[in-house]
Amino acid sequence: MATNYDDARLTRAQAESLVAVTEPWLSCDDCFEQVDTFVDGLISDGRGPDEPLRVHLARCPACYEEAETLVSLAADDAGLDEDLALESFRRSVTTPS
Ligand SMILES: [Zn+2]
């Protein structure tokens, strides 16, 4: 059916655009500059990272680990459960905004 075909094309286009955003847009220096603000926002009101930062964190194990450390420290400072904070961090990084 034509309708199904159109749906399939749309899905394919969406899939391709998702592939396109897996390019690491930021350098590690850019990431480092932005990650503090992201962690603050995450801890204070559950805000996710900007898409370029999210993509970088999802693809760069060094920055991801660095961010995890910051999340642990920030959660500790704020008197929050560290595991819950880390869980919401991981979810925000793996979920496209
Ligand atoms: Zn990096």
How many angstroms separate the alpha carbon of residue 68 from the centre of ligand 1?
Answer: 13
pLDDT at 25: 77
Q: Choose among 51, 63, 47, 62: nearest CA to 20.
A: 51
Ligand 1 centroid to Cα of residue 53, in Å, is 9
Alpha helices in the chain (DSSP H): 2-20, 28-45, 51-59, 61-78, 82-94
Whether 8 has a pLDDT exceeding 70, the answer reads no
pLDDT at res. 22: 52
Task: Give the C-alpha separation, 64 to 57, whole Å.
Answer: 5
The pLDDT tens digits of the residues spanning 38-76 come to 999 999 999 999 999 999 999 999 999 999 999 999 999
pLDDT of 4 over the 90 cut? no
pTM listed for this prediction:
0.74
> What separation in Å is there between the alpha carbon of 79 and the centre of ligand 1?
28
32 CA from centroid of ligand 1 (Å): 8
Contact 24, 56 (CB under 8 A): yes
